[in-house]
């Protein structure tokens, strides 16, 4: 009996699993039977990935272990969410010709969209990645919406896997099939009406900005600000702002909706507070207004964040906007009760805004399942609102002009008195200006003389530094195939290069002292002197021990005064060559590059500077057996850290290494000339940010 029950249970479980598998099986949508356009979401399945851990092969090959949603609407609604959603839809082309078409996916504000096209054997054919987290030009089709151009070969079946993710905003997941000609015609009509809509906003902003400048009234500033930010918010909501205003800034593209929504809401509060004169309303209403202003300001601040708080701003700001509209309508009612009846145009403006905002918000949260309202309700409402507000502002302008004419009549009687007073004040002012001009001229002469003395002093300091730095003749005598690129940022340099010869060795180095300009130059003189003492006075030959001794000398020199704490020092790359086949290198942060057989090898330096440093260890000497054709480079960080290029970014060491390998077939003099040219080309119009020193020695 128990055995019989067990078999019955097993059969029931198998039937349920089979039924579940069948419910998740997807048929194929034949695109050849679609004439113009069609929503295909109902033919798909959706899988929520809250942990963002699912891989395409898991979703595609094994959906049975996952929670699968079958959409019932043309545009599936996923609410405010940070989850990743996977959609799968199967398409086939039953015709004997290739079929090209467009797929429109997600809303213009979706952060990440990935579309992968597979053949019927689950082999990946094509892959697209786009969304607001990517530059606009990464989109496969340059459009404000996410349009994907696809082609299915004749008599073929394919699987489409779509991955979508938002940062807390409402996520909607349409799959809209478009015939290419139909989409082109639709886009043309849509662009025409969008042009009319945004053109009206521009006209209102320009016109009433002119009124504001002419009348110098703050009310017009509030009105223009409100209309401008409302239009910019809608422009961003439509995806046009990301396309035309900040296509290379994903951060702005992601945050612009919240930021502009909050700013436009604040502008609306400020404008209506002044237009309706909230100061005459009851205290409770005014305090509620201040509370809304604070809440929207907090939302604006949080709009610049990311993560948990940022995700919650979306629903909060949507709810606030809904409440604030009714709050302002209630303010109109209170004014009416006090006998200060607002203009009919203001009431009509709020009616338009209220109807448009309510329809937009209810459609946005899927309480009204209407794609047209979701896309256009706010446009229609805001357009009507701006129209009626413009009528109200024009009426205000007319009244203001009448009041201005009356004020001019009254002011005319005082004109002579004002002119007399102005004449007296002008005469007095001219005397004060004359005296002040003489005083300024005298101070300018003093400053000019002081500046001249400072420049002369620094120029003389450069002569002293140039006298210490090895000449080209000395370099060629000691290292026949050697070149140095030396580009100080200021008159004097914190970078320096050094060379010295003994009976058995040639020592040479490139150092980068703390800072640049005069402070760097002073430290460079200490470093140069310390190196000379180590070679000529202490008779040291091992580079590691030389750097240990240089460190001790500089620390002792900079600690003479107990009341002054100086932690300056330098980074350095130092070599000792026995004039034959052995090169010994030691470095403080600065490495040595060895190019042999056109391959670049980096000899690491000790990760500690010359100067005060906690946890110091003895410097390491690295012995290198030199071969004919070898080329070495000692350098400071100024070359690789220079900003420039098409995007104003750092050159970086990867490009620097590439330059050195490219130029390895040249002699040292030619290398230095070419490095200087490439540095200038990269820097272009950017300012040089640091001293540059690069030494090349070829053997």
pLDDT tens profile 392-434: 777 766 777 777 777 777 777 777 777 778 777 878 888 888 8
Cα 511 versus chain centre, distance:
35
**pLDDT at res. 666:** 92
* C-beta neighbour count of 208 within 10 angstroms: 22
The stretch 164-184 carries a mean pLDDT of 87
Residue 396 backbone dihedrals phi, psi, to 5 degrees: -60, -40
- Burial class from Cβ neighbours inside 10 Å (0-12, 13-18, 19+) for residue 543 reads buried
Of 38, 355, 26, 297, nearest to 160 (Cα)? 26
Largest pairwise CA distance in the chain: 121
More confident residue, 8 or 71: 71
In CATH terms, the fold of domain 462-698 is: Phosphatase 2c; domain 1 (3.60.40)
Q: Do residues 345 and 386 lie in contact, with contact meaning Cβ atoms separated by under 8 Å?
A: no
d(C-alpha 578, C-alpha 274), whole Å: 85
Q: How many CA atoms lie within 13 A of 319 on its CB side?
A: 8
**pLDDT at res. 237:** 82
DSSP state of 538: S
Query: In 36-179, which residue ranges form alpha helices assigned H by DSSP?
Result: 56-61
* CA quadruple 490, 458, 533, 510: dihedral, nearest 10: 10
Residue 447 backbone dihedrals phi, psi, to 5 degrees: -65, -40
For residues 279-317, one letter each, b for 16 or more C-beta atoms within 10 angstroms of the residue's C-beta and e for the rest, the string is eebeeeeeebbeebbebbeebbebbeeeeeebbebbeeb
Of 495, 539, 533, 537, nearest to 688 (Cα)? 495
Contacts of residue 91, Cβ cutoff 8 Å, sequence gap at least 6: 28, 29, 30, 31, 152, 157, 158, 159, 160
Name residue 197's beta-bridge partners: none
* C-beta neighbour count of 460 within 10 angstroms: 11
What are the pLDDT digits (tens) for 185-226? Answer: 988 998 888 888 888 878 878 877 877 777 677 777 877 888
d(C-alpha 47, C-alpha 19), whole Å: 18
d(C-alpha 107, C-alpha 171), whole Å: 7
Lookup result for tokens 């521009």: 202
What are the pLDDT digits (tens) for 217-261? Answer: 777 787 788 888 888 888 888 888 888 998 898 888 888 888 998
d(C-alpha 137, C-alpha 244), whole Å: 11
Q: Which two tokens stand for residue 41?
A: 């979401």
* Cα torsion 64, 66, 72, 76: sign: negative
* Cα torsion 280, 286, 290, 296: sign: negative
What are the pLDDT digits (tens) for 339-359? Answer: 666 667 766 776 776 777 777
* Cα torsion 300, 301, 306, 312: sign: negative
**pLDDT at res. 91:** 92
**pLDDT at res. 121:** 86
Q: Mean pLDDT score of the chain, rounded to an integer?
A: 83
Count, residues in the chain: 699
Q: How far is CA 45 from CA 80, 292, 695, in A?
A: 20, 42, 64
Of 230, 312, 310, nearest to 266 (Cα)? 230
Lookup result for tokens 């394919």: 158
Name the pLDDT band for 162 (thresholds 50, 70, 90).
Answer: very high
Asked if the model's pLDDT at residue 16 lies above 50, the reply is no
Q: Which two tokens stand for residue 341?
A: 């009846």
Q: Which two tokens stand for residue 660?
A: 């050195």
**pLDDT at res. 366:** 61
**pLDDT at res. 238:** 84
**pLDDT at res. 408:** 76
pTM confidence score: 0.51
SS3 at position 686: coil
Pick among 2.60.40.2380, 1.20.1740.10, 2.160.10.10, 3.40.50.10860: CATH of 24-178: 2.60.40.2380
Q: Do residues 74 and 108 lie in contact, with contact meaning Cβ atoms separated by under 8 Å?
A: no
Lookup result for tokens 């004359």: 434
Q: How far is CA 185 from CA 148, 177, 178, 190, 198, in A?
A: 17, 14, 11, 9, 20
Cα 333 versus chain centre, distance:
45
**Which of 99-113, 552-566, 681-695 is most confident?**
681-695
d(C-alpha 514, C-alpha 550), whole Å: 15
d(C-alpha 696, C-alpha 485), whole Å: 9
Q: Which two tokens stand for residue 309?
A: 């708080």
Asked if the model's pLDDT at residue 606 lies above 90, the reply is yes
More confident residue, 564 or 320: 320
What are the pLDDT digits (tens) for 429-452? Answer: 888 888 887 888 777 777 777 667
Range with the poorest average pLDDT among 20-34, 241-255, 517-531, 630-644: 20-34
**Which of 270-284, 381-395, 528-542 is most confident?**
528-542
Asked if the model's pLDDT at residue 694 lies above 90, the reply is yes
What are the pLDDT digits (tens) for 94-110? Answer: 998 999 999 998 878 78
Q: What share of the chain is helix, strand, coil (3-state, %, to 5)?
A: 55, 20, 25
Range with the poorest average pLDDT among 37-41, 74-78, 256-260, 656-660: 74-78
**pLDDT at res. 698:** 93
Sheet strand arrangement including 592-596 = 482-487, 692-698, 631-635, 592-596, 599-603
d(C-alpha 492, C-alpha 464), whole Å: 10
Q: How far is CA 36 from CA 33, 43, 338, 529, in A?
A: 10, 17, 58, 83
d(C-alpha 41, C-alpha 89), whole Å: 8
**pLDDT at res. 166:** 86
* C-beta neighbour count of 181 within 10 angstroms: 9
Q: Do residues 115 and 193 lie in contact, with contact meaning Cβ atoms separated by under 8 Å?
A: no
């Amino acid at each position: 009996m128990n055995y019989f029950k067990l078999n019955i249970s097993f059969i029931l479980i198998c039937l349920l699993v089979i039924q579940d598998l069948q419910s998740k099986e997807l048929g194929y949508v034949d695109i050849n039977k679609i004439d113009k356009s069609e929503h295909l979401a109902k033919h798909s399945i959706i899988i929520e990935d809250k942990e963002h851990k699912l891989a395409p092969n898991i979703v595609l090959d094994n959906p049975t272990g996952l929670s699968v949603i079958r959409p019932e609407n043309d545009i599936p609604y996923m609410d405010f969410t940070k989850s990743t959603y996977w959609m799968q839809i199967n398409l086939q082309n039953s015709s004997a010709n290739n079929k090209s078409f467009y797929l429109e996916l997600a809303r213009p504000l979706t952060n990440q969209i990935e579309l992968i096209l597979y053949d019927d054997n689950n082999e990946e054919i094509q892959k697209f990645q786009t969304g607001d987290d990517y530059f606009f030009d990464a989109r496969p089709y340059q459009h404000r919406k996410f349009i994907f151009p696809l082609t299915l070969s004749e008599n073929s079946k394919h699987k489409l896997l779509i991955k979508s993710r938002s940062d807390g905003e409402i996520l909607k997941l349409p799959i809209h099939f478009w015939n290419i000609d139909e989409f082109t015609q639709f886009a043309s009509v849509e662009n025409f009406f969008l042009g009319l809509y945004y053109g009206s906003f521009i006209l209102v902003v320009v016109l009433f900005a002119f009124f504001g400048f002419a009348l110098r009234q703050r009310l017009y500033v509030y009105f223009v600000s409100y209309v401008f930010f409302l239009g910019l918010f809608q422009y961003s909501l439509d995806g046009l702002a990301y396309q035309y205003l900040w296509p290379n800034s994903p951060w702005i593209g992601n945050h612009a909706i919240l930021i502009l929504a909050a700013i436009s809401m604040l502008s609306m509060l400020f404008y209506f507070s002044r237009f309706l004169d909230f100061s005459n309303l009851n205290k409770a209403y005014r305090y509620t207004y201040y509370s809304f202003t604070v809440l929207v300001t907090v939302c604006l601040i949080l709009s610049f964040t990311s993560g948990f708080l940022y995700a919650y701003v979306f629903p909060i700001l949507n709810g606030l906007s809904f409440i604030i509209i009714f709050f302002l309508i209630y303010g109109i009612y209170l004014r009416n009760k006090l006998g200060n009846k607002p203009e009919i145009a203001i009431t009509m403006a709020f009616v338009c805004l209220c109807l448009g905002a309510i329809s937009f918000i209810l459609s946005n949260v899927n309480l009204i399942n209407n794609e047209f309202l979701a896309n256009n309700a706010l446009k229609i409402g805001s357009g009507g609102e701006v129209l009626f507000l413009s009528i109200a502002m024009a009426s205000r302008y007319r009244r203001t002009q009448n009041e201005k004419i009356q004020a001019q009549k009254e002011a005319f009687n005082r004109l002579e008195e004002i002119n007399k007073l102005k004449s007296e004040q002008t005469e007095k002012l001219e005397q004060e200006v004359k005296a002040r001009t003489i005083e300024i001229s005298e101070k300018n002469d003093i400053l000019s003389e002081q500046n001249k003395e400072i420049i002369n002093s620094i120029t003389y300091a450069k002569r002293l530094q140039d006298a210490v730095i090895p000449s080209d003749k000395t370099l060629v005598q000691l290292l026949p195939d050697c070149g140095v690129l030396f580009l100080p940022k200021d008159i004097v340099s914190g970078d320096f290069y050094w060379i010295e010869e003994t009976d058995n060795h040639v020592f040479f180095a490139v150092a980068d002292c703390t800072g640049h300009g005069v402070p760097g130059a002073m430290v460079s003189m200490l470093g140069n002197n310390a190196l000379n003492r180590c070679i000529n006075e202490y008779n040291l030959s091992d580079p590691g021990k030389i750097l240990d001794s240089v460190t001790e000398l500089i620390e002792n020199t900079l600690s003479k005064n107990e009341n002054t704490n100086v932690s300056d020092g330098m980074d350095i790359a130092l070599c000792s060559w026995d004039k034959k086949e052995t090169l010994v290198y030691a470095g403080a942060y600065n490495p040595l590059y060895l190019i042999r057989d056109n391959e670049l090898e980096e000899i690491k330096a000790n990760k500690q500077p010359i100067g005060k440093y906690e946890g110091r260890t003895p410097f390491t000497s690295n012995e290198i057996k030199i071969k004919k054709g070898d080329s070495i480079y000692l350098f400071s960080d100024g070359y690789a850290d220079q900003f420039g290029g098409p995007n104003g970014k750092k050159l970086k060491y990867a490009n620097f290494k590439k330059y050195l390998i490219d130029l390895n077939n040249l002699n040292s003099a030619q290398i230095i000339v070419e490095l200087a040219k490439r540095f200038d080309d990269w820097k272009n119009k950017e300012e040089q940010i640091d001293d540059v020193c690069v030494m090349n020695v070829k053997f």
